[in-house]
């Protein structure tokens, strides 16, 4: 009898039904959440996850479960150590979405430098004269700071360097790079005109950017966060924007998601907001879905997956 596998419908389509062709019984749903999974197939052997949180009580309700394959990089929605104790692999797809996220960061930088959000609003409000008077700044006149030099940070640095932009980099582990200069934490915030955050969500990075960092930043500088909402102390960010401590921000992630409709960030003309779509391109999703599908196939064939983020007790 074939193992049951639950995966997002779009992932099944983007992989040309890879797992079905491998002989598995594939059950599709838009974005598998815990309630959906248990209703559809509590006897499933594998689940491809997108973004919904999985609680630790799911394992006793899914006795056949062998792998939770994250279609993405971050895995903070799964307690990976607890999963390992239940004999369940957790995998991710490192690097698969790096170019797409880096492209979005680059787009945000251009939008911030040209005051795109406000220009767009004034144009729609038939205030052409006001929009025309908003002089932008060339990106090549800026110093761009990249915090976190993993797959996304490295790809972003490569793209910026190709455009002739000066890049500075902070990472806890300094690496040699032809695309920028490594600087200290404080120097990063004091120097950069735009800071782009690309850190993993771990206990050590929770609210790592707060009052102190915003006070270091220049009044004309801006912040981009395409990583995780909890990296920034959101109340400190709101204060910094309201009090012109910094000039603007572009945010794809928030402390609470979906973002509360009363959040002051939604009302600010100097803030670009999107709904956690940094990797939302066809190309990135196809890569992520295929890697996740291959991790599922590997585990269900009895082998150890290449991109495991835990080490199950089996």
Which two three-digit tokens encode residue 305? Answer: 């997956």
- Alpha carbons 41 and 158: distance in angstroms, whole number: 44
Task: Spot the catalytic one: 114, 158, 207, 276.
Answer: 276
Which of the following is catalytic: 117, 155, 228, 234? 228
Rounded Cα distance between 31 and 266, Å, is: 26
| 25 flagged as catalytic | no
Measure the CA angle with vertex 108, ends 104 and 114; round to 5°.
145
198 is annotated as an active-site residue: no
Of 70, 135, 38, 54, residue with least CA distance to 296:
70
Are the C-beta atoms of 297 and 133 separated by less than 8 Å? no
The pair of structure tokens assigned to 1 is: 């009898």
Q: Under the phi-then-psi rule, with left for phi > 0, alpha for psi from -120 to 50, and beta for the rest, what region is 213? A: alpha
Q: Which residues are catalytic?
A: 228, 257, 276
């Amino acid at each position: 009898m074939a193992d049951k596998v639950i995966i997002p419908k779009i992932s099944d389509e983007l992989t040309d039904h890879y797992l079905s062709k491998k002989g598995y019984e594939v059950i599709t749903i838009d974005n598998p959440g815990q309630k959906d999974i248990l209703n559809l197939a509590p006897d499933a052997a594998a689940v491809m996850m997108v973004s919904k949180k999985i609680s630790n009580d799911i394992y006793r309700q899914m006795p056949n479960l062998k792998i939770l394959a994250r279609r993405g990089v971050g895995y903070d929605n799964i307690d990976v150590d607890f999963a390992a104790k239940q004999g369940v692999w957790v995998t991710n797809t490192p690097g698969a979405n790096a170019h797409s996220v880096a492209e979005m960061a680059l787009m945000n930088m251009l939008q911030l430098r040209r005051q795109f959000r406000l220009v767009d609003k004034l144009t729609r409000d038939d205030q052409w004269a006001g929009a025309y008077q908003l002089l932008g700044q060339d990106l090549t006149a800026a110093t761009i700071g990249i915090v976190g030099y993993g797959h996304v940070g490295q790809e972003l640095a490569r793209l910026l360097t190709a455009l002739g932009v000066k890049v500075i980099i902070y990472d806890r582990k300094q690496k040699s790079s032809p695309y920028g200069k490594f600087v200290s934490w404080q120097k990063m915030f004091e120097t950069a005109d735009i800071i782009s955050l690309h850190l993993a969500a771990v206990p050590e990075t929770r609210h790592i950017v707060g009052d102190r960092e915003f006070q270091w930043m220049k009044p004309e500088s801006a912040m981009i966060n395409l990583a995780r909402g909890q990296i920034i102390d959101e109340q400190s960010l709101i204060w910094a924007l309201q009090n012109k401590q910094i000039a603007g921000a572009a945010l794809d992630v928030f402390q609470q998601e979906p973002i509360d409709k009363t959040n002051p960030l939604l009302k600010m003309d100097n803030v670009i907001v999107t709904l956690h779509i940094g990797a939302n391109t066809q190309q990135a999703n196809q890569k992520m879905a295929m890697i996740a599908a291959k991790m599922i196939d590997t585990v269900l064939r009895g082998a150890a997956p290449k991109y495991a983020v835990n080490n199950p007790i089996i």
